[in-house]
Amino acid sequence: RAKSAGGNRYEFADPEADARVITRHGLTTALPTALERGEFFIEYQPLVHLGDGSVRGAEALVRWLHPQHGVLGPDRFIPLAEHTGLIVPLGRWVLEQSVRQAREWRERNGGDAAGPLRINVNLSPCQLTHPGLVQDTVEILERAGVTPDALCLEVTESALIGADDDLLKPLRRLAEMGVDIALDDFGTGYSNLANLRRLPVSVLKLDRSFTRGMQQFPADPVDLKIVEGIVSLAHSLDLAVTVEGVETGAQAEQLRILGCDTAQGWYYARPGPPERLHELALVDATG
Ligand code: C2E
Ligand code: MG
Ligand code: MG
Ligand code: MG
């Protein structure tokens, strides 16, 4: 196997890699028409309160129903969309759909004990630097008749590492309006923990790599200590902690004991169609 040189992701000596390059090129050129033709769709994965097990909202995860290749996950096309700039209109579309969906959930599920459902939407770094972000978000919320507190925007830790004030300004404006900002994949970016104070975030989403260590029983003691430390730091900074990748009941219990607030993962539900979330939340609300 040829080793790729200089950070090149593709190993051209590998025949399969050639196929991947062609697909990559093909996918890139098909992206704009895919948006026009409505080939993207969104799945929603519930966010569950660890204390009482209630569904509090969902994360929107985009998929592409490609006419030849079938359903493609975001890891296949988001990087391409970022590279070509299509991520801006695509991200706007995801935001608009998701916020509308949140409104529908709220209308149908308004008065339950756990409170109105909220929606988490991923933002790519390119969207952060796009000048229309704040205005687009405000308009989308207004059009849907949804208050800003229904929305949480997820930004990866790596996108904010070394972020200067210009980059943080739109996030600050959104946070002041009442939109929650979550630091996604937290713990993978080697960011300075003290840096957290500077960021307009209110939620830490602990990366799946931490929950993995809790799959076996007893859990890895070092992982436990690290998570315990992160949770206590987060809470002392008034940040809520969400954990990703919870696949077993044992993990959920461990993370609850460690003080994590919200969880997401296959143990509760895989990402699915919006009706599924409504069912889960409703079952939950009626006991
Ligand atoms: P993410 O934001 O960290 O989303 C969580 C990913 O973990 C999702 O993968 C989800 O399906 C997966 N996951 C959830 N629970 C479990 C579990 O228990 N076990 C395991 N093994 N995996 C679990 P997905 O849907 O493939 O999305 C991958 C990434 O693509 C997302 O990571 C996010 O960074 C990005 N993405 C998804 N939708 C969008 C979007 O609309 N815009 C942008 N910019 N990025 C998006
Ligand atoms: Mg996310
Ligand atoms: Mg994440
Ligand atoms: Mg992740």
Question: CA triplet 23, 27, 33: central angle to 5 degrees?
Answer: 155
pLDDT average per 10 residues of sequence, the chain (287 residues):
39 54 84 96 97 94 94 95 96 98 83 73 95 97 95 92 87 97 87 80 92 78 89 94 94 94 96 87 57
Task: Collect residues with CB below 5 Å from ion ligand 4.
Answer: 185
Q: How much is the pLDDT for 12?
A: 41
Structure tokens at 8: 């090149």
User: Pocket of ligand 1, candidates 76, 122, 181: which has the most ligand atoms within 8 Å of its Cβ, to mutate?
Assistant: 122
User: Pocket of ligand 1, candidates 35, 44, 61, 154: which has the most ligand atoms within 8 Å of its Cβ, to mutate?
Assistant: 61
Q: How far is the CA of 239 from the centre of ligand 3 (A)?
A: 16
Q: How much is the pLDDT for 210?
A: 84
ipTM for the complex? 0.98
Q: How much is the pLDDT for 284?
A: 55
Q: Which atom of ligand 1 is the closest one to the Cα of 121? A: 41
User: For residue 159, which ligand has an atom nearest its CA?
Assistant: 1
